[in-house]
Amino acid sequence: MSSSPKILILGAAGYIGGTLLVDLLKTHPANNITTLVRDEAKQALLTPLGVNAVVGAVEDVPLLISLVENSDVVINFAVPFGGGDASLHAIVDTLEKRAKTSSIKPVYIHTSGSGSVLYGSDGVTGTDVWKDTDYERWEALPDTAYFHSGSRITAKAAERGVISAYNIMSPTVYGPGTGPGNKLSLQIPAYVRYAKRTGTAAYIGQGENVWGNVHIADVSRLYVAILDYALSNPAATTASAGSHGWSNLIYSGIAQHTWKPVVELLGDQLYARGDIPNKGAKSIAEGEGDPYMFGGNSFLAVSSKTQTFGWTPREPAILEAVKLALASK
């Protein structure tokens, strides 16, 4: 396309959103990117990058609409963590109105998580495998599942085809972020905090519960690849007969892990650094750990859809990334 789109990022001071912002600035002019941040401290982090950093909340629907009205692309990391379905409907409805007058088919990229299918407890291995091609199964999943009501709103928008709408569903995201704000993921830092607080690393129950995983740099490049594809292939999301909104659900996980070996390695690495007095890891009961230390399973089969976007993961696997991140001092 000849002109650079106007991009709105919700959650650009966060872990994935900030990493994506830095990646987008490599190919998109800063003055075409707007971000919505919750306070002036986050605004001060983003303004030096040249982007338009607006202070406000996704729960403020009138403000959100005013920003979306002037955007060709909305990439959302903030909802459903804030604002809920009202904000999501506002984003989609406003982009669909913009589609009537814009020369660019608007793009909405929604962030979901494999917590939608979290099941089990006590670190017991799960055997129920979901796929991002299980369209009827996703449709039947109740909106009480984590993230799912937002994913459904996006899927319905994709089905209507007025805008290009995509769900990106990620599992455990690991590795250091490169954005100006938060550089830490949720899960592995939780295990590290627990180990430093108690002196010993710990996993939940048996530690054999399965999660998918993807490196932060790889998942950021997937967002870029999907955005480029959507802008170059506006007909890819259509309301033609037989189309299915859930076909635009894209799972980013590239591998699977169980938590026990990951946490044992964390313990060994922290011990080698002199951060904790004990090697290895112990088992603790469900609920005894820090937040984001889970005993359930959350994974999908590795997606074949990502090939459509020319995306190939290239970052270190999760165990190698832990070694690199916690190399001896």
pLDDT in tens, 249-285: 999 999 999 999 999 999 999 999 999 999 999 999 9
Confidence of residue 97 (pLDDT cuts 50, 70, 90): very high
Q: What is the percentage of the chain residues whose pLDDT exceeds 90?
A: 91
Is there a contact between 172 and 215 (Cβ–Cβ < 8 Å)? no
Q: Where are the alpha helices (DSSP H) in 34-172?
A: 40-46, 61-68, 84-98, 135-140, 148-160
322 — alpha (psi -120 to 50), left (phi > 0) or beta?
alpha
Amino acid at 314: R
pLDDT digits (tens, 9 = 90+) for 162-203: 999 999 999 999 999 999 999 999 999 999 999 999 999 999
Q: Delimit the domains of the chain by residue range.
A: 7-118+128-174+215-251, 187-212+255-325
Residues 6+ apart with CB under 8 A from 144: none
pLDDT digits (tens, 9 = 90+) for 150-159: 999 999 999 9
- What average pLDDT score do residues 204-217 get? 98
Query: Which residue in 219, 208, 108, 227 sits closest to 171, CA to CA?
Result: 219
Q: What is the pLDDT of residue 36?
A: 97
Please say if the pLDDT value at position 89 is more than 90: yes
DSSP, collapsed to helix, strand or coil, labels residue 220 as helix
CA atoms within 13 A on the CB side of 289: 31
Please say if the pLDDT value at position 244 is more than 90: no
Helix (H) or strand (E) holding 231: helix 216-232
First to last CA, the chain: 48
Domain 187-212+255-325 has CATH 3.40.50.150: no
- What average pLDDT score do residues 12-21 get? 97
- What average pLDDT score do residues 53-65 get? 96
Length of the chain: 329
Rg (CA), the chain: 20
Q: What is the percentage of the chain residues whose pLDDT exceeds 70?
A: 96
**What would the two tokens of residue 295 be?**
């005993």
Q: What is the pLDDT of residue 329?
A: 66
Domain 7-118+128-174+215-251 has CATH 3.40.50.720: yes
C-alpha 327/C-alpha 309 separation (Å) is 34
C-alpha 268/C-alpha 281 separation (Å) is 8
C-alpha 61/C-alpha 154 separation (Å) is 17
Query: Which residue in 101, 10, 4 sits closest to 54, CA to CA?
Result: 10
Confidence of residue 2 (pLDDT cuts 50, 70, 90): very low
Q: Return mean pLDDT, the chain.
A: 94
C-alpha 176/C-alpha 197 separation (Å) is 21
